[in-house]
Amino acid sequence: MNSAKPRLPDETLVQIAGRIAQLGGWIADLPNDCVFWSDEVCDIVEVPRATSLTIAEVFAFYPPEWRPRAAHVFENCISHGVPFDEELQIVSAAGARKWVRVTAEPVYGGEGKVALVQGAFQDITAAKHADHNLRILANRFTNTLESITDAVVMVDRAWCFTFLNSFAEQLLRCSREEVLGTVIWDRFPEAVGGRYYTEYHRAMRDNCTVRFEEHYAPLALWTEIRAYPSEEGLAIYFLDISERKLAEQRIHALAYFDKLTALPNREMMLMRLDEAIQQNRLSGRYRALVIIDLDNFKSINDTRGHAKGDMLLQLAAKRLGATLNNGDTLARFGGDEFVILLDDLGADAPAAALLANAAARAIVECFGPGFDIDGIEQYSSASIGVALFDGEAISADELLKRADLAMYQAKGAGRNTHALFTPEMQSRLSDRVALEADLRHGLSHGHFILHYQPLAEVNGCMTGVEALVRWNHPLRGLVPPNDFIPPAEESGLILPLGRWVMRTACALLARWALEPASAHLTMAVNVSAHQLHRPDFVDQVLGALRESGAPPQRLKLELTESLLVNDIEGTIAKMTELKNAGVRFSLDDFGTGYSSLSYLHRLPLSQLKIDKSFVRDALGGQQGAAIAHTILALGRALRLNVLAEGVETAEQLAFISGAGCSEYQGFLYSRPLGEDALAHFISSAVH
């Protein structure tokens, strides 16, 4: 059996390969001035096969701009025996311009002279066009990366820089010439071992996109990073977020630190206190909460002025700080009240009480010497309340109540002393219980009314009102909100009270909609945390609007920053649902609570309300004005209307107007009014 398989001659295979590759051979016979082309070359030049030409006729196929180069390398090969490999252009017999690769080597004759030149001739037009298109795409890609505002860096798998756009040069303070081809970790050695290093390696190793924020200390730069891996390496997009981080730090300072003393404020202390309660439940050890109230501080303020009073508070803060042990926390709660959290007093109750009393005595004694206020010695004592706590189930509010009761016990004992909370003091809480019962009675018997404080544009045009609840007690008369809102919050009575406020405000809003003079006015209603976090909150608001017939777009719900700490996603969902129905939202007392820029821009807000404390302090110096300007700038950056609260003087109005604030409220425009007085006010405002 013959196992041999038929095959084509090798020459035929070579011809097939040459045809497919558009590659042919050529020989120039110099003595006879004749050039022989293979069939493939003839096809490329588009002349009949087996055509033979003179050398001059061959050079005629090169266009004028390429002919000198072709002649030079050919002559160099003949005269000096130098082979060549050139990419040139020809014009075929049919007039088509083509790119060709021409290679040649000399063949020597018997006298040692070049007799023949032989070589290859290949059509590379398609490859050249593809290369040209790739260059166009590469240029477009580079131009795109240059035009975006992110800094873009590319590194290969060996961590060598392969690309930087101009923004990257500016951000990293280096030039392309300096870094291209160098290793990123050699250029930025401080990043080795840090988050940049670990995240970039993770992206390359796991072939995953990474996103993170990090601070690079040598450049004092906060960056937001997105790194995308590829077969070639890593594309890294930098965004300079230093200004945003600085703004967050400013807002954090406003939210958690007291401006006057630089101590932690109430919000920060409550967070620390909650943490301590949780730790005690695990350890069973004792801590103590200490409330310090400066005696007769109001008289010092009244006689020497607020500036001197502020100096006293700053000096008092320093003295209190000197009494602390490691782990203790000192905060200013506001006014002349300071709070200390005494850390780890041991596991024995009597011993812990002794330590807490000793700490309280040290605080009393630190107020013994006078305070030098601008060369005048000023004396101020302190009344101190102490509440011990261990692992028992107790809330921060309850601890504050206990320490507050003990502090008032100290004041009642003649001041300049301290008192430790005891169960006997609990009887004082009975007053609070009685107050709650009174609240329930007031709710069921219609003792609550609404007053309305007008809001205005800075040019004086009225824009709406804020509804403010008042307790018209049959015996005590009008009870201020500060006396009944906190116990209503604690007892849960804020829920039925809030529902009543919403229905009453919407009913008035519906009546306004029927009158040309008031149809444009908005109604702002404050919402408590208890209301907002109820599952049926949205239904309650929409129900009040539906029952009253009030226009939803005229209702504005005011939220405080503290409401946004818990369940932010649920809060955003409820706000969005109501916004879609037309209801607007305002963030009240902005700057006094907790606002992270990471989610503030996600909230469907239409307005920020600057807390009255910032308005008050704006004219008190450069720092106060700078803080007010910062908050106004943030509001504009978020494209929100900004309203200033507590505007009481023409100077304050001029300041907020000049700073870009569009609306305000305060006694300068109007005090809160009853419904009848408000009707007259609206009529006067219109006419």
Residue 663's CATH number: 3.20.20.450
Q: What percentage of the chain carries pLDDT values higher than 90?
A: 59
CA 538/CA 153 separation, integer angstroms: 48
Question: Would you call 129 helix, strand, or coil by DSSP?
Answer: helix
Which residues in 501-600 belong to E strands, given as ranges? 522-526, 555-560, 584-590
4 domain-assigned: no
Residue 480 and residue 411 share a domain: no
- Of 330, 226, 220, 334, give the one whose Cα is nearest residue 272: 330
Q: Decide if pLDDT at 6 tops 80.
A: no
Question: Of 188, 207, 240, at which residue does a domain stop?
Answer: 240
- Of 323, 267, 271, give the one whose Cα is nearest residue 292: 323
393 domain-assigned: yes
CA 547/CA 181 separation, integer angstroms: 72
Residue 387 and residue 273 share a domain: yes
> What pLDDT is stored for residue 2 in this prediction?
47
135 domain-assigned: no
141 domain-assigned: no
133 domain-assigned: no
> What pLDDT is stored for residue 301 in this prediction?
79
- Model confidence pLDDT, tens digit, residues 633-660: 888 888 889 999 999 999 999 999 998 8
- Of 669, 620, 631, give the one whose Cα is nearest residue 649: 669
- Model confidence pLDDT, tens digit, residues 38-65: 999 999 999 999 888 999 999 999 999 9
Q: Decide if pLDDT at 592 tops 70.
A: no
Q: Decide if pLDDT at 379 tops 60.
A: yes
Residue 172 and residue 71 share a domain: no
- Sequence-distant (≥ 6) Cβ neighbours of residue 62 within 8 angstroms: 70, 88, 89, 90, 91
Give yes or no for a contact between 574 and 585, defined as CB atoms under 8 angstroms apart.
no
CA 47/CA 24 separation, integer angstroms: 14
What is the token pair recorded at 265? 């404020």
> What pLDDT is stored for residue 660 in this prediction?
87
Q: How do 641-644 and 607-610 pair as beta strands?
A: parallel
- Alpha-carbon torsion (168, 169, 171, 174), positive or negative: positive
- Model confidence pLDDT, tens digit, residues 493-510: 999 999 999 999 999 999
Give yes or no for a contact between 586 and 608, defined as CB atoms under 8 angstroms apart.
yes
Please, what's the largest Cα pairwise distance for the chain? 136
> What pLDDT is stored for residue 420 in this prediction?
94
- Model confidence pLDDT, tens digit, residues 431-457: 777 888 899 999 999 999 999 999 999
φ/ψ of residue 442, rounded to 5 = -65, -40
Residue 303 and residue 367 share a domain: yes
CA 491/CA 485 separation, integer angstroms: 10
Give the DSSP letter string of 467-493.
EEEEEEETTTEEEPHHHHHHHHHHHTT
Question: Of 183, 207, 240, at which residue does a domain stop?
Answer: 240
> What pLDDT is stored for residue 139 in this prediction?
53
Question: Of 110, 125, 140, at which residue does a domain stop?
Answer: 125
Residue 302 and residue 231 share a domain: no
> What pLDDT is stored for residue 10 in this prediction?
53
CA 357/CA 355 separation, integer angstroms: 5
> What pLDDT is stored for residue 591 in this prediction?
66
> What confidence tier does 101 reach under pLDDT thresholds 50, 70, 90?
very high
Residue 156 and residue 116 share a domain: no
What is the token pair recorded at 116? 């023949």
The 8-class DSSP code of residue 407 comes to H
- Model confidence pLDDT, tens digit, residues 246-291: 888 888 778 889 999 999 999 999 999 999 999 998 888 999 999 9
Mean pLDDT of 555-574: 83
CA 530/CA 562 separation, integer angstroms: 12
Residue 116 and residue 212 share a domain: no
Residue 85 and residue 169 share a domain: no
> What pLDDT is stored for residue 1 in this prediction?
44
Q: What percentage of the chain carries pLDDT values higher than 70?
A: 92
The parent domain of residue 92 ranges over 10-125
What is the token pair recorded at 623? 């720092």
Give the global pTM: 0.44
Residue 637 and residue 498 share a domain: yes
> What pLDDT is stored for residue 593 in this prediction?
57
The number of folded domains in the chain is: 4
321 domain-assigned: yes
What CATH number did the domain enclosing 29 receive?
A: 3.30.450.20
Residue 544 and residue 493 share a domain: yes
- Of 668, 565, 564, give the one whose Cα is nearest residue 615: 668
Mean pLDDT of 303-320: 90
572 domain-assigned: yes
What CATH number did the domain enclosing 358 receive?
A: 3.30.70.270
> What pLDDT is stored for residue 634 in this prediction?
84
Average pLDDT across the chain, whole number: 88
Q: Decide if pLDDT at 138 tops 60.
A: no
> What pLDDT is stored for residue 618 in this prediction?
82
Mean pLDDT of 128-154: 65
Give yes or no for a contact between 655 and 632, defined as CB atoms under 8 angstroms apart.
no
CA 406/CA 356 separation, integer angstroms: 13
C-alpha distances out from residue 37 to 25, 43, 98, 121, 206, Å = 6, 10, 17, 9, 56
Residue 661 and residue 536 share a domain: yes
Q: Decide if pLDDT at 18 tops 60.
A: no
What is the token pair recorded at 533? 């976090």
* N- to C-terminal Cα separation, the chain: 120
> What pLDDT is stored for residue 681 in this prediction?
95
430 domain-assigned: no
Residue 211 and residue 102 share a domain: no
What is the token pair recorded at 506? 């919407």
